[in-house]
Structure 1
């Protein structure tokens, strides 16, 4: 649950002494939410941030939310699953997240300075910079430096290695095979020594460090095996790490994702549908379900026919009783929605409607339509201007309508509430199949349209609410 309490930030940063009552109230509030962290985005001129965390497959099946978006300026409460956990912070206009180690009850301030994310923990009115990378727990000893030098030998040949399917007898194959055993032995010794040293002092933080170290070890081994393409060592790798204990661990379950991509997604000897129908009888039920979930997801990525994807979605539901965690795919594929020339809509109260039908209730009024999405930074930046324009024309025969295009329903609902635009705000359920979208070439947002008092489209690419032209056009239409 999220709260808009930007005013709290003003109280918080004004505190310089722990005796300040406003700061004490903040701490008390956090203590009442022991699994939460509070994140403050204090800037109003930057794109929204996506806050995310890693979930176990069991948590995904329960419908737990793995990410949320914080806008600017705003305050967000984000739930953790453990007392100490790694979260990722990613600006919506970038691709690469930055990781930060946080604990329940933390209050964080996120800023964007010199094109770089800066995250601070607020303690006793002071800003403490948060930084995280593995060098904080993995020492750069001579053994690790030597390990890095061996790895660099493989990685510098990555381009050649990526051609292994076409050129299996690459010139470095023998040298790779010679160096690989030494690399694997050294990486096992070095990482095991670090983990053993942490395990001498058991606590939640050291336990987390051990998992992150093992995760880094797995990823490094996999990167090299992908280049060398040594089948024997690859099978040993899977035998060692592909255990149920790792599957249930949020940081180590990635080994199952690695195995899936290797054995199924990139496997040219078996189709995704064949793999699904064969099933996974050798695995526990939860792991078999995970693989089938990934297979359906891959069918979409590989652009299988829509009818085929729907067929396997039906099989999945029949076997497991529900679609979890494929709900987002249902929306993406518009499962169960027939192709239409109209827009299939749902409002904030979950009432279904059609655009042509709902438009009739506004007969006699000008309709200003805003096509937007929760992930669209320009759309969100324009929202305050839309509200301002609406206030200027208050009492006039005009209605402002918001239609969420190519969005996720859960993110749309969160953004709708946060931006306080619940009235006349609709989620488009058939963004991809509606001929309305294709006929008017709505392939970029924000996009604005104006309908006259008879519901006829008179401006299919209208000026945005942040322009003087929008006010002038609407004012002239209201005189008619």
Structure 2
């Protein structure tokens, strides 16, 4: 018996060694990469809001429009940082992504749905993306996979919604389709109830696809989780949440909505999925009230991301992987809506709290977060000469100054440029200098726009530190375009001047006459 036991142990040891050797070989030969090839990606296209069907030909250009840029494919890299690949438009473009997981999710926005267009691919795959009506369609070249499974989003859009706006999209999107904005909230609730019916239909569709081996068990569970998360997102919309609370108050059993969530102990394995990252964002809003901002012709709503940032730090539900993701998201809210002192304070907190050094460096580089020169506004000329805003004002003393804060990406800014050129010609005898300062722009785009807009002969400067300059705050510049008027002695006489073609000429003439 002892002999037999020794033989068994020897066999088990041999098998174990063999398995370990096989594991080593497998790990060494694992590709650890995914290759993406994009063919003729769109650059920018116009979507007519009332066009509610994929591929429908536009008869005219009337009605509200959305200008959609190539938003690319978002994915989680091997360092748990969200990256976006934007393929070059109108050509063939390739990227190789390093990965150490069995699966990688690629996601992009689809105008007709509230759910992202997602593709679940395997380690070692090569995927070619072609575009139909500006929507990507994937094909895997190295293995056989069901087209329904790979391009499920396009399949569901056709099968369940006849390639038209989904009920999920219309919960929010109906405000763009109806002239009476007051009906928006009630229509949203109607579309929410329709979405619940469509949810049930889609679950049955997924069950059928799995039972007929048209999608794998992995993809089946992945699609169901994404769908559940979509419904949870809609339940948390302000007006729908309020309506659901009212229903619950009647103690109607049918009114009790099932709550969907994830096991946060599985965060590390779930982070690669965009619906899970959305879930983390949703549960880290902490029911904060919206701050309303009105800047005359523009404004917005946002939560206090400083409170959110501090709450995420203290929240014991989140491990370090979740905090790395959420703290950067909260900091983006601080960077967009709060003062330089807050940006500096919370950037220091972010440095102390994150283990994602690569993402921290990228944030600092992308937003030029150098707080050492916050008391100055640093400018660069077309000839790459550097100076400060203070230097600029001193250099132009003795002249009236009409200063235009703009950017190449700002459509209203560029729309006024012909009127600005016209105004400059009309006032050329009035000792007025027109100065254009590009704010939160890309240098190469700025240079091209200066030439295209015909303002090359004027003074043009690129603002290097707009995100961290207290000068921008002191001048009250929250949105662009923004115009300032200085007198010849360097005094700011109008911090919110009229736009060219909208009263600027009369305003300038009056000031010059009075002075």
TM-score, structure 2 normalization: 0.48
CA contact (8 A) 2:75 2:83 kept: no
Q: Do structure 1's residue 310 and structure 2's residue 347 form an aligned pair?
A: yes
The structural deviation recorded for 1:357 is 0.6
Q: Which residue of 2 aligns with 1:276?
A: 313
| DSSP-derived class of the 1:55 partner | strand
Structure 2 alignment gaps of length 5 or more: 1-36, 47-59, 97-105, 120-127, 136-152, 168-184, 190-196, 249-257, 289-306
The structural deviation recorded for 1:382 is 0.4
Give the counterpart of 2:271 among 243, 247, 261: 247
User: What is the root-mean-square deviation of aligned Cα atoms in Å?
Assistant: 6.4
Q: Which residue of 2 aligns with 1:19?
A: none
Structure 1 residues 302 and 429, CA gap change in structure 2 (3 angstroms): closer
The structural deviation recorded for 1:402 is 1.8
The superposition leaves residues 59-103 of structure 1 with CA deviations (integer Å, 9 ceiling, x where unpaired) of 9947647799xxxxxx99998989x9743569xxxxx98989999
Q: Which residue of 2 aligns with 1:360?
A: 394
In structure 1, how many angstroms separate the alpha carbons of the residues matched to 2:510 and 2:421?
A: 16
CA contact (8 A) 2:76 2:83 kept: no
Q: Which residue of 2 aligns with 1:71?
A: none
CA contact (8 A) 2:74 2:83 kept: no
**Larger relative contact order (C-alpha < 8 A, sep ≥ 6)?**
1
Q: Which residue of 1 aligns with 2:360?
A: 323
CA contact (8 A) 1:368 1:451 kept: yes
In structure 1, how many angstroms separate the alpha carbons of the residues matched to 2:63 and 2:396?
A: 35
Give the counterpart of 1:36 among 17, 20, 41: 41
In structure 2, how many angstroms separate the alpha carbons of the residues matched to 1:471 and 1:80?
A: 54
Q: Which residue of 1 aligns with 2:437?
A: 403
Query: Matches of residues 15-414 of structure 1 in structure 2 within 5 Å?
Result: 34=39, 36-41=41-46, 49-51=67-69, 52=71, 55-58=74-77, 61=81, 64=84, 86-88=108-110, 104=129, 106=131, 134-138=156-160, 190=204, 192-196=206-210, 200=214, 215-220=226-231, 237-239=261-263, 246-249=270-273, 253-262=274-283, 264-266=284-286, 272-273=309-310, 275-276=312-313, 289-294=324-329, 296-297=331-332, 306=342, 308-316=345-353, 320-323=357-360, 326-327=363-364, 336=371, 340=375, 343-346=377-380, 353-363=387-397, 366-373=400-407, 376-390=410-424, 399-404=433-438, 408-410=440-442, 414=445
In structure 2, how many angstroms separate the alpha carbons of the residues matched to 1:350 and 1:318?
A: 36
Q: Do structure 1's residue 470 and structure 2's residue 505 form an aligned pair?
A: yes
Structure 1 residues 469 and 337, CA gap change in structure 2 (3 angstroms): same
CA contact (8 A) 2:405 2:480 kept: yes
The structural deviation recorded for 1:289 is 2.8
CA contact (8 A) 1:345 1:427 kept: yes
Structure 1 residues 186 and 48, CA gap change in structure 2 (3 angstroms): closer
The structural deviation recorded for 1:379 is 2.2
Structure 1 residues 106 and 39, CA gap change in structure 2 (3 angstroms): farther
CA contact (8 A) 1:137 1:209 kept: no
CA contact (8 A) 1:368 1:398 kept: yes
Structure 1 residues 434 and 389, CA gap change in structure 2 (3 angstroms): same
Q: Which has the larger radius of gyration?
A: 2
The structural deviation recorded for 1:383 is 1.8
Structure 1 residues 418 and 213, CA gap change in structure 2 (3 angstroms): farther
In structure 2, how many angstroms separate the alpha carbons of the residues matched to 1:201 and 1:347?
A: 57
In structure 1, how many angstroms separate the alpha carbons of the residues matched to 2:205 and 2:264?
A: 15
In structure 2, how many angstroms separate the alpha carbons of the residues matched to 1:458 and 1:426?
A: 23
In structure 1, how many angstroms separate the alpha carbons of the residues matched to 2:336 and 2:503?
A: 43
CA contact (8 A) 1:101 1:132 kept: no
CA contact (8 A) 1:187 1:217 kept: no
Structure 1 residues 363 and 300, CA gap change in structure 2 (3 angstroms): closer
| DSSP-derived class of the 2:279 partner | helix
Mean Cα deviation higher: 366-375 or 462-471: 462-471
Give the counterpart of 2:461 among 425, 435, 441: 425
Aligned residues: 360
Structure 1 alignment gaps of length 5 or more: 1-31, 69-74, 91-95, 110-118, 120-130, 146-154, 160-182
Structure 1 residues 454 and 381, CA gap change in structure 2 (3 angstroms): same
The structural deviation recorded for 1:347 is 5.3
Structure 1 residues 431 and 80, CA gap change in structure 2 (3 angstroms): same
In structure 2, how many angstroms separate the alpha carbons of the residues matched to 1:451 and 1:272?
A: 40
The structural deviation recorded for 1:392 is 6.7
TM-score, structure 1 normalization: 0.50
In structure 2, how many angstroms separate the alpha carbons of the residues matched to 1:97 and 1:347?
A: 43
